Chain A
C-alpha cells in the first residue's frame, strides 16, 4: 500500500484528507497562498492510474461487453429466434452424423455462429447462455471465496496463537488438496443425492449452487493467506493500539479498523479470482462434472466439440476462442486493477 493507513473514526466522520506518499508520481504542489488543492483519495488516484492504462481499458471494455451480453441473453435469442435448447433439424444432415449443412459449421443469417453437430442447436444461443453460466459461477464463487478468505484471514492474522496455527494449517490443507479430483469423485454422490424425482430429473439450481460452493471452497485459501499477511503487519500499527486503548472490542477492530484498509488486496484478489474460477468451471464441465447437459456451458461445448473436431472444427474454435478472450480480458483487467492499486509492484 502506498498510503498510510488512517484510523476511521467511530463517529463516522468524513474521510480525512490524505497526505501524499513519497513515491507518488508528483503532480505540481500549490505554493504560497494558492487556493486549497482538491485532495484525492487513494481510490480516486487508483482510478486515474487505471484510466491511463490502455490495455486495462480495452480489457475492461471487453469484459463489460461479455457481462452485458450475458445479461441480455434471453433478449438476444428472442431476436434471433433460436433458443439454446431448440434444435433446427433442417440445418443438419441426418444421413451423415447430423453434421451442419453449409460451411464453418453452418454459419448463416439464420444461425450467426452456426449449429451444433449431432443435435442441431443454434450455437449462438448456446454460447450466450453458456456465458451466463460461466459468469454467474465465476462471480459468485469469487464473491464467496473473497468474503470467506477475508474473514478467516483476518481472524488468523489478528488473533494469532493457536487460532492462527489452526487456521493456517487448514489453509495449507485446502491449498494442497487436489481440487479437480475431489470434485470429480464427489459429483456422482452429489448427483444421486440431488435427484429430485423418480423420473430422473436433478434440480438445476441446486446443482449450480453445489458447483459454486465447490469452487469457492478451494479458492478462499489464497485470499486468506494474502489477507493474513497484510493483517500481521497492520495489527502492529499505532492506530490499532489506539483503538484498543479506547476500549474497542475485536469485532470493531477487525471490521471497522482493519477491513477498510484491506480493500485493495481484496479487490485484487477478487478480480483475479473471477477468471480463475471461470476456467475451473469450464474445466469441470469439460470433464462432465459441472453443469448437466443439455444446459449450455462452455466447458461442455468444448468437450462435445472435440468429438467433431475433424468434421466441424469451427465448433471447437468458436467457443474456444471466446473462452480464451473472456478469461484473458478478465485477467488483464485484474492485472490492471492490481497495478493501479499498487504501482510499486513490478514496474520496470
Chain B
C-alpha cells in the first residue's frame, strides 16, 4: 500500500511488527459504546474506493467498512492474525499450493438483503482484468490461470480458473505455487461485487456494501457519508462491529488545518480522526507534545518513502548515481517533519520485511556527498539537465520539492517541481501516458514479504500489461531481473528465499533507479472521544473495524 496513498502489503513476518502492534496512545478507549458520528478529515479524495481498484492505505482502511474480502487480518492481538472474512477460514491449498479452495459463510447479506454468494466474489475478481477497472494490485492478473489473456466480464466472458461449484464455495487455480495466497486474498481486490449493482468505472462512488456500513452519498473531492447497513449481522462477521451511527469522510481540508483541528480537540474535533500523514510542518511539535501522546496511534507497517528516477528519460547511469549522492536526505526528511518521520533509508526493503538486508551503496552521510556527485557528473560530461519532479500539491511536498531542487541544483540539474492533485496522485503518475523524470513515491509492502515490494516496483512487464497502473515508476525493464524475480518466488525454502531477496534489493539499487529516502512511521492523531482504533501493522493506518465514539 502506498502511504496514505501507500500500497499496502499483507502478511506479517511478525517479529519487528510485534513492537508496532501495541498502541502508542490510548486509541482503544475501553468498552465499546453504540451511537455517535465519526468524522474522518482527509487532505484529499480517495484515488479509488472501488475495491478492485484500491491501492492506497486510506481507501484500504475505509473499504473495510463497506466491502469484505475473502480473508482478512485480525489486528486486535499482539501480532496480526490471518482469519477468514467472507470465507469461514483461511482456505485450503491443494495440488502443491496451486489450487486454493475457500468455503464461504452463510447469511452474509448485501445492503439490499440479498445474500453474498461465491458468484459475487468471482465477478468481483473478474472485474480486475477489465481495462476500465485499473489501479489495483497485480496479483490476480499475475497468478490466475488464463489471466494474461482475459479482459474482464463486461463482454460476457468469464474466467474459468475461478470456479464456483456451489454458492458457498470458490476455487482458485493458480499458474504457480503460491504458499501465501491466502494473504493476498486479504486485500480488497478479492471483495465481492454484485453484477446487478456494478457501475463499471464509476463504481468508486457506488460501492455496494456487504459490511456494517453502506454509502449514503459520495461527492468527489468533497464528502462521503456512510450509514449503517441494516442487513449486516454480527454473527456472520467476527472481525467488525457496528458501533457508530454514521461515518462522515470530509475531503479537501488543508493538511496543516487538519493537524491543528485535531490538536485542539475542540467541538467536532473530539469525534474526528485523520488518515493522511501529519504535515511536515507539524510533525515534530505534535510528536514532542506530551499532552498529545495519548491521542496518537502509531501503526508499525513496513513502509519506504523514495524518489523514483525514470530510467527511460534519465538514461545515463552516472547521472543517476550522481543524483543518489547529491540528494540531501536531512533536508528531505526535515521537509516531511524531521526525525519522527522515520529513519534514513538506504535499501528498498524496510527492516521488518522478510528479506531485509542492510547495505548502503551510496553516500554514508545522509546529507549527501556533493564531491562524489560532481565527480560522477563530470564523468558523464557535465550535462546541464532539466528534470520534472512530480509531487502532491501540498505544502509538505512543495518543501520536499524545494529540498530536491536545491540539492540537484548544486550538480547542474534544474528541477521543475510539478504538483499533482493529491486525490488522484497515483492514478496520474502511474499512467504511462504521464511521464515525469523524477517521482515522489512511497510504498508499504502489501504484506511484509519482499515479494510484495521488489517485483511490484521493478518488474517491467507490467508497463505493457497495466499501462494505467504501472507501479514501476522508474520504468526498470530488465528481463534478467525479471527471470530472477520469477525463480525467487518459486523457491520453497523461506530462509533461502529471503536471503535471495536481500541480494536482489542490492542488485536493483546498483541500477540507481530509485533513491530510498526514509523508512516510515505512521503516527496519526484522533479526537479524545474516538475509541476502538487498533493500530494496523498491515495497513499502516488505524484500523476502523471496531471503532466507536465514547459517550
Contact = CB atoms under 8 A, between A and B. Distances in A.
Interface of A: 85-87, 89, 92-99, 117-121, 197-202, 288, 293-294, 303-304, 306-308, 310-311
B280 A118 contact: yes
Contacts of A198: 388, 435
A213 B494 CA distance: 66
A200 B284 contact: no
B260 interface: yes
Contacts of B386: 197, 199, 201
B389 interface: yes
Given A199-B387, A307-B256, A98 B436 contact: no
A293 B396 CA distance: 13
A200 B395 contact: no
A94 B334 contact: yes
Nearest to A95: B339
20 contacts: A94-B333, A94-B334, A95-B339, A97-B283, A98-B338, A98-B399, A118-B334, A118-B395, A200-B388, A200-B389, A200-B416, A200-B436, A293-B398, A293-B417, A294-B402, A294-B405, A306-B256, A307-B281, A310-B282, A311-B282
Contacts of B402: 87, 118-119, 121, 293-294
B388 A98 contact: no
B330 interface: yes
Interface in B368-416: 386-389, 393, 395, 398-399, 402-403, 405-406, 416
Most buried by B among A97, A98, A121, A293: A97
B328 interface: yes
Nearest to B418: A200
Contacts of B388: 198-201
The CB with the most chain B CB atoms within 10 A, among A117, A118, A197, is that of A118
A261 to B, nearest CB: 50
Nearest to A118: B399
Given A89-B331, A199-B437, A94 B260 contact: no
Interface string B308-351: 00000000000000000000101101111111000000000000
B331 A94 contact: yes
Given A200-B389, A200-B418, A200-B436, A96 B334 contact: yes
B396 to A, nearest CB: 8
Contact of A97 (B255, B338, B416): B338
B217 interface: no
Contacts of A94: 330-331, 333-334, 338
Interface string B283-298: 1110000000000000
Nearest to A119: B402
Contacts of A97: 280-285, 334-338
B207 interface: no
User: Helix, strand, loop or mixed for chain A's interface?
Assistant: loop
Contacts of A200: 387-389, 416-418, 436-437
B279 interface: yes
Given A98-B331, A119-B402, A199-B437, A307 B279 contact: yes
Interface in B47-88: none
B434 to A, nearest CB: 11
A120 B281 contact: no
Given A199-B388, A200-B436, A201-B386, A93 B338 contact: yes
B375 to A, nearest CB: 21
A331 to B, nearest CB: 30
Contacts of B389: 200
B437 A95 contact: no
Given A92-B334, A307-B256, 15 more contacts: A89-B367, A94-B330, A96-B337, A96-B338, A97-B334, A97-B337, A118-B395, A199-B437, A200-B387, A200-B389, A200-B418, A201-B388, A306-B256, A310-B282, A311-B285
A89 B333 CA distance: 13
A89 to B, nearest CB: 6
A235 to B, nearest CB: 53
A303 B395 CA distance: 9
By Cβ-Cβ distance, the 10 closest A-B pairs, closest first, are: A200-B388, A98-B334, A200-B416, A94-B334, A94-B330, A118-B399, A96-B284, A307-B281, A307-B256, A200-B418
A86 B333 CA distance: 18
A95 B436 CA distance: 30
Given A307-B279, A310-B260, A87 B406 contact: yes
A346 B334 CA distance: 56
Contacts of B403: 119
Nearest to A300: B398
A307 B278 CA distance: 12
A98 B416 CA distance: 22
Nearest to A294: B402
A86 B410 CA distance: 10
Contacts of A96: 284-285, 334, 337-339
A291 to B, nearest CB: 13
A308 B334 contact: no
A117 B416 CA distance: 21
Given A95-B339, A96-B338, A97-B338, A308 B281 contact: yes
Contact of A98 (B256, B279, B335): B335
A85 B284 CA distance: 25
Given A94-B331, A97-B280, A119 B399 contact: yes
Given A117-B281, A200-B436, A307-B281, A95 B338 contact: yes
Contact of A118 (B335, B367, B405, B437): B335
A217 B335 CA distance: 38
A311 B281 contact: yes
Nearest to A288: B393
A120 B338 CA distance: 14
Nearest to B399: A118
A323 B225 CA distance: 41
The CB with the most chain B CB atoms within 10 A, among A94, A197, A293, A310, is that of A94
Given A87-B402, A201-B386, A307-B256, A99 B333 contact: no
Contacts of A121: 402
B13 to A, nearest CB: 30
A293 B334 CA distance: 19
Contacts of A85: 406
Contacts of B387: 199-200
A99 B260 contact: no
B313 to A, nearest CB: 8
Nearest to B393: A288
A294 B395 CA distance: 12
A344 to B, nearest CB: 49
Contacts of B336: 97
A293 B403 CA distance: 13
Contacts of A199: 386-388, 416, 437
A143 B367 CA distance: 48
A294 B388 CA distance: 14
A120 B339 CA distance: 17
Contacts of B339: 95-96
Nearest to B387: A199
